[in-house]
Amino acid sequence: MSEVQSSLRVDFSGGTLDLWPLYTFMGGAKTINISLSLQTQVSLKYLEDSSPYLVEIPQLQEAYTFKTLEEFLGHPSPNLSLLQESVRALGVVGKFHIVSRSDSPVGSGLAGSSSLLISFLKALAPESKMDLVELAHNIEARVLKTPTGTQDYYPALQAGINLIQYSDHGRQHSLIDPQNFKSWDLAPVIVHSGQAHHSGLNNWDICKAVMGETTGQTLGSLKSLAEVSEKVFKSLVDDNKKLFFKCLSDELELRSHLGDYITPQISQVFQDFKDVGIENYKVCGAGGGGCVVGFVPRAMQKNLIDKLEKKHLVLHCDWKF
């Protein structure tokens, strides 16, 4: 049985700006994220023709058996949709046994579904030279039935601090040298708010607001977020931790005016962070639920996690370079 893994991520800045056509409205944008030690895993074994198709999702305590490919592709469970569309897009015909796992809860804001999709594609097409980002982008849009960005697939394909630049010419990916960020000796404390989020719906609401409003208020907020992302890039390149933390605060203020970004559950996590002394934090992903990440001195990580675990689900992890 072959096994593949793909990283989850924390987005530093520029989320939502990776959606076409939003980045074209502001003449381009940067999105920056970092890979985590949290992963999705997919195990794949091809079976004899006489065998049934087997799909297991231990995290959800689900297991499926299908006699034919048509039966598998036609099953209505939403928990199978990413795998179904991956098999359909790649033209897989052989019988298989697939087991999928994720280190994060559903709707965490850590790009779990995007990471899982990349894991499926890497497992099913290990020798492929195709553009997996473009393929995953289209598959996920079809599954979610909303516009999707592309930033989340890169950390699942290449660990590190990912810079994705969007322009009229498309997207360009590179890795930012992590040495400055490493020198700050920060560790993540990731707390789940207890409320799942849906990034596709949140982003679609923003798209509709930009295209439908006459005031230009939402587009103005997005342009400001693009400026913040430029400053995040500068902070990482220029070794300016103070600017990086200010950008986290500025982005939070801007996004608080974009739909239901901050929910009562997220506000409670903010308060609990402050109570234990965490000053620098951000909502993961598109908000509206999911996780909040605190950036804390590495020496304090364990103690802070111990305190927060009395009230919350805390995901134990580190950055991955």
Mean pLDDT in residue range 60-84: 97
Provide the pairing of β-strand 62-66 with 281-283. Answer: unpaired
Q: What pLDDT score does 317 carry?
A: 98
| 36: pLDDT strictly greater than 80 | yes
Q: Do the domains 2-175 and 180-315 sit in the same CATH topology, yes or no?
A: no
> Per the structure block, which two tokens stand in for 66?
């299908």
Pick the CATH number of 2-175 from 3.30.230.10, 3.10.20.30, 2.60.40.2580, 3.40.50.300: 3.30.230.10
Mean pLDDT in residue range 298-312: 98
| 99: pLDDT strictly greater than 70 | yes
CATH code, residues 180-315: 3.30.70.890
Ranges of each domain in the chain: 2-175, 180-315
Mean pLDDT in residue range 99-118: 96
CA dihedral 306, 241, 6, 30 (to 10 degrees): 140
Q: What pLDDT score does 160 carry?
A: 98
CA distance 148 to 155: 16
pLDDT digits (tens, 9 = 90+) for 151-197: 999 999 999 999 999 999 999 999 999 999 999 999 999 999 999 98
Arithmetic mean of pLDDT over the chain: 95
Identify the residue with better confidence: 32 or 205: 32
Q: How far is CA 270 from the centre of its chain?
A: 20
Q: Which residue do the tokens 């600017």 mark?
A: 243
Q: What pLDDT score does 293 carry?
A: 98
CA distance 229 to 3: 35
* 276-309 b/e (C-beta count within 10 Å ≥ 16 → b): bebebbbbbbbbbbbbbbbbbeeeebeebbebbe
Q: Of 273, 250, 287, 114, which Cα lies nearest the Cα of 191?
A: 273
pLDDT digits (tens, 9 = 90+) for 190-227: 999 999 987 665 778 888 899 888 888 999 999 999 99
For the entire predicted model, the pTM comes to: 0.96
Q: What pLDDT score does 11 carry?
A: 97
CA distance 23 to 80: 31
Q: What pLDDT score does 200 carry?
A: 62
Identify the residue with better confidence: 202 or 263: 263
Lowest mean pLDDT among 63-77, 89-103, 131-145, 251-265: 251-265
Mean pLDDT in residue range 21-26: 93
CA distance 220 to 270: 26
Q: How confident is the model at residue 294 (pLDDT cuts 50, 70, 90)?
A: very high
What is the 3-state secondary structure of the chain? CEEEEEEEEEEEECCCCCCCCHHHHCCCEEEEEEEEEEEEEEEEEECCCCCCEEEEEHHHCEEEEECCHHHHHCCCCHHHHHHHHHHHHHCCCCCEEEEEEECCCCCCCCCHHHHHHHHHHHHHCCCCCCCHHHHHHHHHHHHHCCCCCCCCHHHHHCCCEEEEEEECCEEEEEEECCHHHHHCCEEEEEEECCCCCCHHHHHHHHHHHHHHCCCCHHHHHHHHHHHHHHHHHHHHHHCCHHHHHHHHHHHHHHHCCCCCCCCHHHHHHHHHHHHHCCCCEEECCCCCCCEEEEEEEHHHHHHHHHHHCCCCEEECCCECC
Q: What pLDDT score does 215 carry?
A: 87
Q: How far is CA 175 from the centre of its chain?
A: 17
Q: What pLDDT score does 199 carry?
A: 65
Contact 233, 251 (CB under 8 A): no
Mean pLDDT in residue range 281-291: 92
CA dihedral 249, 278, 164, 84 (to 10 degrees): -120
